[in-house]
Amino acid sequence: MLVATPEYNGAMPGALKNALDWLSRPVEEGLVLERKPVAIIGASKGPLGSIRAQLNLRVVLHKMDVAVVGQPEFVLPHAHKALAGDELPAGSPSLPILTAVVEGLVDLIERRRAAASLTC
């Protein structure tokens, strides 16, 4: 799963937290996202590019026992100026970082699959 978050008052938006809360219950039926590979990205209009929201999101995913890609961290400050329409323009220094996050997620998925096949 790839979670993209904006930043609302220094945290993830309430709607995203609410969705994660719903995914975490009932505990008796097992955590839906337990040990699932997840990557986080974010963008915001401010100068910190959603990093506070992402830290907030990481804490919640940690509590849900999710396997989160650690590095690199993709933030997009001043997103309303950094984007060309809905896209990062060619040559944007943010593009290789975004690519590395997605590659990190694919790598985590493959390592989890390999570990699961060893235990079968």
- Write out the H or E segment, with its range, that includes residue 40: strand 37-43
Residue placing its CB nearer to ligand FMN in the complex, 67 or 75: 75
Which residue number is nearest to ligand FMN in terms of Cβ?
Answer: 46
Residue placing its CB nearer to ligand FMN in the complex, 8 or 98: 8
Q: What is the DSSP letter of 87?
A: B
Look at the alpha carbons of 112, 70, 25, 44 in this order and tell me if their dihedral is positive or negative: negative
* Min dist. Cβ of residue 115 to ligand FMN (A): 36
Interacting residues of 86 by C-beta distance below 8 A, sequence separation 6+? none
C-alpha dihedral (62, 9, 87, 95), degrees to nearest 10: -50
**What would the two tokens of residue 13 be?**
């938006």
* Min dist. Cβ of residue 68 to ligand FMN (A): 21
* Min dist. Cβ of residue 4 to ligand FMN (A): 10
* Min dist. Cβ of residue 40 to ligand FMN (A): 16
Q: Are 31 and 80 in contact (CB under 8 A)?
A: no
Which residues of this chain interact with ligand FMN, rule CB under 6 A?
A: 6-10, 44-46
Residue placing its CB nearer to ligand FMN in the complex, 36 or 45: 45
Residue placing its CB nearer to ligand FMN in the complex, 8 or 31: 8
